[in-house]
Structure 1
Amino acid sequence: MSVNTFLWFDSDAEEAANRYTALIPNSRVVEINRHPDGSAFIVTIELDGHPYTLMNGGPGHPFTDAASIQVIVDTQTEVDQLWDALVDGGEPGPCGWLTDRHGLSWQVVPAPLLPLLNSENPTKAAAVATTLRTMSKLDLKSLQDAYDQA
């Protein structure tokens, strides 16, 4: 058995696959199944070892932010670089979410945020959560400050 995420694109699955694999370390295009005219139909990729299948299926099935790809990175520099690259041509969203130029939703999360939100001190965790809700791109220093000052 295997579990794979399947994403339906209108017509730009190959472009998205190339972009995503260039932005996410340890990623690659695995295979491209093409129509007789040479255009991509099914594109199989791995993003940091996680399998995804991207299909050019035509219009009528848009992405929503009800499902997103979450990328957890180690540093603010990585948040800034990945966020800025993914949101280019897309739209920023709340609390670390963004929609890229293909309409796919992402969350770019700094790993140090997770222990702050999971703090055994509920006042500190609540302060972090409150601050997080005021942000689009996450700012680890501001989140840490909220924790420290609570």
Structure 2
Amino acid sequence: MEQNFHEGFLCWVYSCMSTEAVITYKVENEVRYIHLYDPLSIVNCSAKDIECLFVNKIGYKAEDKDQALQFQKVASICFQKGTNSEHMWSSKWRKIEKEELLKAEKDRKAREEKDKIARYTVVQRLAEEEKKAAQEKEKLTKALLKKPKRHEEKLKSL
């Protein structure tokens, strides 16, 4: 959502055709529009923008009063409570989220370390198996290269 539209703010109205609030503002020689489909999207505005929306009331037709005033109420509450995109909410949930994030990070690092050790042991075990296979092959090669003994020659001729 665009921020700092308060400098060139012209007006904001509720549109019954598209069921949204439309904020109109001017940047240099260009007129721009911000379409708000949900009243809670006002929370994403900067503090100055919310103040601008609070001071300048929303325009609407009589039959759209209920819907339009929802946008105005959210702007009023955000202004009164100081809730905006620049504000870090201080709540118990924020503390719990941070603790859970740290716990998850610690668990992830522990899993990575365990995986690293497991990979190392697997590689080490494979290297040992290859070494044993090479030793077996070497023994077999040496045995085949030896000349047969006399008593072995007699057995072979029978």
Fold shared per TM-score above 0.5: no
Q: Comparing both structures, which one devotes a greater share of its residues to strand?
A: 1
**Higher Cα Rg: structure 1 or 2?**
2
TM-score (norm 2): 0.19
Q: Comparing both structures, which one devotes a greater share of its residues to helix?
A: 2
TM-score (norm 1): 0.20
